Amino acid sequence: MTIKSKNIITGAFMFLLSISILFGLNSCSCGCGTADASDVPLSVLNKANNFIITRTGKEFFDKYITPDFSLITYKDPYYKMAYKFFMPEKPYVNTVITFSIDKDGKIDGKDEIAGIPEYLKDPASCRFNIDDKQAIKIAKENGLKEGVSKWKVGLLWDSSYNQYIWHVLSTYSESGKDKNYKGSGKEFLIDPNTGQVISANLWHIP
């Protein structure tokens, strides 16, 4: 197995940003309006549902994906749709699907379409056989050191691979906080279906 290794600044930023987005969408302060079930026209909701279903199939959608109206926002002309993707039998698969759609059902191509599992196209990409503990074990076996703080582990959508990936990040040194934060370490990207190490990246925030 070949593991790519490179120095990056963005890796740690993107991981922490993804985590904050995943768990902090409820605190949107951008001036857009938070929607509820009565705010989203049924025609828009149906078109958004069908957009996901074209990738997941209806059975998969009905079983694992539900609209999260507390996270949906509206900024003319687009609804920023949000759906909870949760697999009860594999509770570590608990994330958010997002994309933007207008009243006519047109998808905003400038906004990222994030988190929709490609079950119809590639069922093997939705097995999620590797849990967080196994991901940590795989990272350790491939040389990820403990670091100076607790590892950050997250099952995140990675647009560059168009699939969910375990991110396991270790911090080897750090100082300061917020805008003055400095740190370095290593991040492993692990396929949640096969356990394969996709890449190993050194990160550094100067």
- Cα–Cα dist 193/154, whole Å: 14
pLDDT score of 13 more than 80:
no
Place of tokens 């698969």: 93
**Sequence-ordered list of residues with C-beta below 8 angstroms from that of 97, at least 6 positions apart, any chain:** 52, 65, 81, 82, 83, 84, 85, 114, 115, 116
**Banded pLDDT at 36 (limits 50, 70, 90):** low
Give percent above pLDDT 70 in the chain. Answer: 82
pLDDT computed for residue 197 by the predictor: 97
User: With 70 as the cut, is the pLDDT of residue 24 above it?
Assistant: no
The pLDDT of residue 30 is above 70: no
The pLDDT tens digits for 144-180 are 998 898 999 999 999 989 999 999 999 999 888 888 8
| Residue with the two structure tokens 């920023």 | 80
CATH of 7-19+126-205, one of 1.10.20, 2.70.70, 3.30.70, 3.10.450: 3.10.450
23-27, 40-44, 47-51, 101-105: least confident range: 23-27
Most confident of 93-102, 143-152, 196-205: 93-102
Rounded to whole angstroms, how far apart are CA atoms 125 and 60?
A: 13
pTM, whole model, 2 decimals?
Answer: 0.81
C-alpha atoms less than 13 angstroms from C-alpha of 44 in its C-beta half-sphere = 26
Confidence of residue 38 (pLDDT cuts 50, 70, 90): low
Q: What average pLDDT does this structure show over 97-104?
A: 97
User: Does 15 have pLDDT greater than 70?
Assistant: no
Given a cut of 90, whether residue 58 has pLDDT beyond it is yes
Interval 122-143 mean pLDDT: 96
Torsion on CA atoms 78, 74, 99, 90, rounded to nearest 10: -160
Mean pLDDT of 188-205: 94
Sign of the alpha-carbon dihedral angle for 103, 107, 109, 113? positive
Mean pLDDT of 12-31: 44
Question: Which of 8-22, 32-46, 99-113, 160-174 is least confident?
Answer: 8-22
Mean per-residue pLDDT, 88-93: 98
